[in-house]
Structure 1
Amino acid sequence: MTTTVYFATNRAVNNPPEAPTSYTLNMIAPEKQMAYGSAFVDSSDLPGDNVGTIRSLQDFQAGDFSATAKADIESGGRNILVFIHGFANSFADAITRAAFNREWLTKSNVPGADTTVIAFSWPSRGHVIEPPFPSYAYHSDQRTAGKSGPHLARFFANLLPLLQNARNNGLRTFLLAHSMGNWALQAATEAWFSQGQGPADLFDEALLAAADEEYTSFERGPFGRLSAFNQLARRISIYHSTGDRVLDDLAETLNLKQRLGQRGPAGYPNASRFPASTYRVVDCSGYTDYLRTFQATHQYYRRSEGVRTDIASVMA
């Protein structure tokens, strides 16, 4: 089985771009164009939780997707899933995880969950622990995710006409942001509005899973952090768990602040602030249908069959 992943990245790319190792830890300068391309991923093994390997990278272009990629995204007949990875994901990790997510959603057999997947890869270092001290990799990734906000906003701007055309073709559009990908997302939301762009119909549903983002993010209005994100997504589903040990033992400890993915957003369930038509807040603490190792408790959005079923159901 081979899965196609369309991708964009603000990583600096060495030649030749066909090698996954060419996508470096360095971030391109703000004025530089991002790299776009297509990846083909083999052997995603859902029961074995094996995300597979990149077979080839092709169709490279600076600044936007190729005409061929655009045509498949907007008129390929499948709903669209945009994926933003979290902490400690190399470029190859981000691409194979996007493929894996596409495949388990497809295997749910829910109408609409068979998607075209697009990954945005920001320059995570790809390691949980790295010298010179235990928190170095985490803080480095957090800074990089935040600085990726303008690039991610530019990526959204490039996607907007494709997503609008897809919707005109009867398709739906989804965003899945995991872990520290939500830190990049809040920076992109701020950048979007600070650049003078207004509300945009980007996503039918945004799925924020195990978000390593400040729990007060939606209270930082009018345009701070995620407070205006509801102007870019028709509905927002926030998945959280008090059993997420990565957020409890690592992220909250290092940030000295509760995370959005632990107990949900500050102010919830105030119905005037979080109307049910716009926000779903899903407590995943009670799901025990997977082996709850330290890492797995932060990956419940794909490890738990119950949570996977919920995510697929919103794509119906």
Structure 2
Amino acid sequence: MPRISSLLLYSAILIGLGPGSGSCIAKPIIDEPLVLRICEALSQSDPGRMPEAVAPEAARKFLEHYRVDSKLLRGCRAATQTRSAENRTIFRVEHDVVEAYWQFYTDNNFIQQIVIEHYRYVTLAGDGPWIPLSGSHSGLITDRGGDTVFGSNLDRNIIEFFFATNRKESNARPVLEGDPPPNSVAGAANGWTLVSDYTGERAGLSFGAVRVRVPEGHQIGKVELPWSAEIFGLTFESKSDPEKHFALRSIQKVDEAAWIKSLSRSGKKRALIFVHGFNTSFRDAVFRTAQIAWDLQFGGTTVLFSWPSRGEVTSYLYDKDSALGSRDALLHVIADVRKAGFDQIDIIAHSMGNLIAVDALAHSATTNSPTAIAQLIMAAPDVDRDIFIQGIPNVAKVTKGLTLYASKNDKALQLSKRVAGDIPRAGDVPEGGPIVLPGLWTIDVSLMGDELFGLNHNTFASTRSVLNDLAILLNEGKAPPRLVEIRGFPEPPLKAAYFRYVP
């Protein structure tokens, strides 16, 4: 036994664990788990969480110096080493709302100092400016209780989401609305480039992210925009006010691989893809997506799929052909979202956007590798009634839930019906009632007003109810009726064939 003890002691000395080893003790290994443990200690302001690799005095000074910033630096998602020198290692640490550069200074025994020098707010394009964290905290604001909440450069009315489009990029010079503009140097370093807009002409797929500011006085169900009117060929409009109107802050594009990577970095597992309808410009599609995502308070990642609509009533046939030619593009986007690691993908399609969604999913169901999604929500679909009925059985094979919101009063649908030669549309509600099919939840929302998702909808309460119904459907996948305002028809004791919204 004494001999074994001596060997163990000798081995401990050789590997730097025994007494008197001095400089033989190896430097602490600084890796992602260790950094995240230190980050959690700061986030929780808890010295007990600090790893033993940090010298006690260094741990005390670190927690004390950055105590005010602990709310800003809350949440510890990931840590990536960016540089390493003889006694210094640098990590980029991702938090809930910011990312920051952490520097670790070591000797042969412990981490002797931790310095956080710069941070920036996380944006989809990774283009936020880097802000020094020097101890003065001049870039921070506090709430009424004195706790640090956000940097003064962060506008909490900004909503960001991804887009994919097979529109042609505009050649116009990029013009940004409002402040702050993206940091072009940082954006270029990350592969994101600023663009002005996308036209209604057709092209290959482009990928990117947009940033929209929602006004302070926004009401659920509305897209507040400047007043505009055309009189005798002249256009008159009011001035855009970011306090009162939706404002497009930036459009940035990136290559497909980087787009998928950015999607995967969101850390979320649910994605909502919105497909807009006929007579919709790219900017209108962006504002509609922002309104829906903001009003729903959707907790996952939002993606706009914008197909080549010219945004003109007179271009109905062009738009219809564009929609018919966008099937493969939508399937490609869904596949990219799936590659990014999303477990649940939902689709909301509006008006003619349903022509793309139904066609794409019905076709996919007949292939060897069908595209599966969770909920397909079809809002006032501008699709030939017979074509819709033929396609839904195949769509049902690749979806967990199918919901049809039909309306006889939807302005966009009524316009489409007239332009299409009064051919019955799938989203209409004729005298005999809406479409009723096995596996399809049909809800007649005619009484909510004249626009389902509404640009400047005038029925605030009813729009809110329909959005509440959508939120429950997306979050829980629950069958109707989900709200007291939505009731079965015919009424009990008869078995309900479909549902009606009753204000």
Distance in structure 2 (CA, Å) of the matches to 1:139 and 1:216: 19
Q: CA deviation at 1:246?
A: 3.4
Q: How many residue pairs are counted as aligned between the two chains?
A: 274
Distance 2:212 2:456 in 1: 24
The code of the aligned residue for 1:310 comes to D
Partners of 2:168 and 2:200 within 8 A in 1: yes
C-alpha distance in structure 1 between counterparts of 2:162 and 2:339, whole Å:
16
**Higher strand content, 1 or 2:** 2
CA distance in 1, matches of 2:468, 2:322: 32
**What's 2:49 paired with?**
none
Question: What is the alpha-carbon distance in structure 2 between the residues aligned to residue 190 and residue 301 of structure 1?
Answer: 35
- After superposition, residues 23-102 of structure 1 pair within 5 angstroms as 23-28=198-203, 32=204, 34-44=205-215, 46-47=218-219, 49-50=223-224, 52-62=246-256, 65-72=259-266, 75-76=267-268, 79-102=270-293
Q: Separation in 2 of the partners of 1:150 and 1:255?
A: 28
The CA distance in 2 between the partners of 1:97 and 1:19, in whole Å, is: 20
Which among 400, 417, 424 is matched to residue 234 of structure 1?
A: 400
CA displacement, residues 235-255 of structure 1 (integer Å, 9 cap, x when unaligned):
011000122243235425524
Say which SS state the counterpart of residue 126 (structure 1) adopts. Answer: coil
CA distance in 2, matches of 1:298, 1:214: 27
1:306 alignment partner, one of 447, 458, 465: 465
Q: Looking at CA atoms only, which structure, 1 or 2, has the larger radius of gyration?
A: 2
Offset of residue 115 of structure 1: 3.1
SS of alignment partner, residue 65 of structure 1: helix
Indicate the structure whose relative CO is greater, using CA pairs within 8 Å and at least 6 residues apart: 1
In 2, the alpha carbon distance for the partners of 1:86 and 1:293 equals 12
Amino acid at match of 2:351: S
The Cα of 1:64 is off from its aligned counterpart by: 6.9
Distance 1:297 1:280, change over 3 A: farther
Whether the 8 Å CA contact 2:331–2:360 is kept in 1: the answer is: yes
Identify if the C-alpha distance between structure 1 residues 200 and 190 changes in structure 2 by more than 3 Å, giving closer, same or farther. closer
Residue deviations 1:219-241 (CA, integer Å, cap 9, x gap): 32xxxx44411223210110001
Instruction: Look up the SS of the partner of 1:237 in the other structure.
Output: strand
SS of the equivalent of 1:262 reads coil
Tell me which amino acid in the other structure corresponds to 1:8: A
Q: Distance in 2 between matches of 1:173 and 1:193?
A: 16
SS of equivalent residue, structure 1 residue 157: helix
What is the letter of the counterpart of residue 223 of structure 2? D
Instruction: Select the residue among 314, 318, 341 that pairs with 1:140.
Output: 318
- What residue is the counterpart of 1:132 in the other structure? none
Name the SS for the 1:123 alignment partner: coil
> What one-letter code is carried by the residue in structure 1 that aligns with 2:473?
V
One-letter code of the match for 1:311? L
Distance 1:26 1:212, change over 3 A: same
Pair 1:176 & 2:339 matched: no
Q: CA deviation at 1:114?
A: 2.7
* Gap regions ≥5 residues in structure 1: 107-112, 129-135
Contact preservation (8 Å) 1:148, 1:187: no
1:109 maps to: none
Structure 1 position 208 matched with structure 2 position 378:
yes
Query: Aligned equivalents of 1:201 and 1:243: distance in 2?
Result: 32
Q: CA deviation at 1:14?
A: 4.8
Q: Per the alignment, do residues 256 and 151 of structure 1 end up closer, same or farther by CA in structure 2, a change over 3 Å counting?
A: same
Q: Which moved more, 1:12-21 or 1:46-55?
A: 12-21
CA distance in 2, matches of 1:234, 1:245: 30
Task: Check whether the contact 1:153–1:191 (CA below 8 A) recurs between aligned residues.
Answer: no
Which residue of 109, 124, 137 corresponds with 2:309?
124
Residue 168 (structure 2) pairs with residue 12 (structure 1)? yes
- Going from structure 1 to structure 2, the CA distance change for 1:186 and 1:295 (only over 3 Å counts) comes to closer
Instruction: Supply the distance in 2 between the matched residues of 1:36 and 1:308 (Cα, whole angstroms).
Output: 28
Shift of 1:299: 7.0
2:218 maps to a residue whose letter is L
What is the alpha-carbon distance in structure 1 between the residues aligned to residue 335 and residue 412 of structure 2? 32
CA shift at 1:200, angstroms?
3.1
Tell me, yes or no, if structure 1 residue 280 matches structure 2 residue 441.
Answer: yes
1:154 equivalenced with 2:332 (yes/no): yes
Q: Could you give the per-residue CA deviations for residues 141-169 of structure 1, whole angstroms, max 9, x where no partner exists?
A: 1111111112112222222333xx332xx
Q: In 2 relative to 1, CA 287–148 (structure 1 residues): closer, same or farther, beyond 3 Å?
A: same
Alignment check: 8 A CA contact 1:59 1:66 kept: no
In the superposition, relative to structure 1, how do residues 304 and 35 fare at CA in structure 2: closer, same or farther (>3 Å)? Answer: same
Aligned residues: CA RMSD: 3.2
The structural deviation recorded for 1:13 is: 2.3
CA–CA distance in structure 2, aligned partners of residues 67 and 80 of structure 1: 14
Query: Out of 115, 121, 124, which is 2:300 matched to?
Result: 115
Q: Give me the identity figure in percent.
A: 23
Query: Cα distance, 1:183 vs. partner?
Result: 1.4
Q: What is the 5 A alignment of 1:256-275?
A: 256-263=422-429, 268-269=435-436, 273-275=437-439
1:110 aligns with none
Distance, in Å, in 1 between the alignment partners of 2:459 and 2:202 is 28
Change (3 A) 1:114 1:301: farther
TM-score by length of 1: 0.75
CA contact (8 A) 2:412 2:451 kept: no
Instruction: Give the counterpart letter for 1:6 in structure 2.
Output: F
2:284 is paired with a residue whose SS is helix
Listed one character per residue, the Cα deviations across residues 12-53 of structure 1 (whole Å, up to 9, x for unaligned) are 2256762333x222212xxx5x11111111125631532722
- Output the TM-score relative to the length of structure 2: 0.49
- How far residue 211 of structure 1 moved from its aligned partner, in angstroms, is 0.8
Which blocks of at least 5 consecutive residues in structure 2 are unaligned? Answer: 1-156, 175-192, 226-245, 476-503
8 Å Cα contact 1:84/1:176 also seen in 2: yes
Q: CA deviation at 1:90?
A: 1.1
Change (3 A) 1:234 1:266: farther
2:342 partner SS? helix
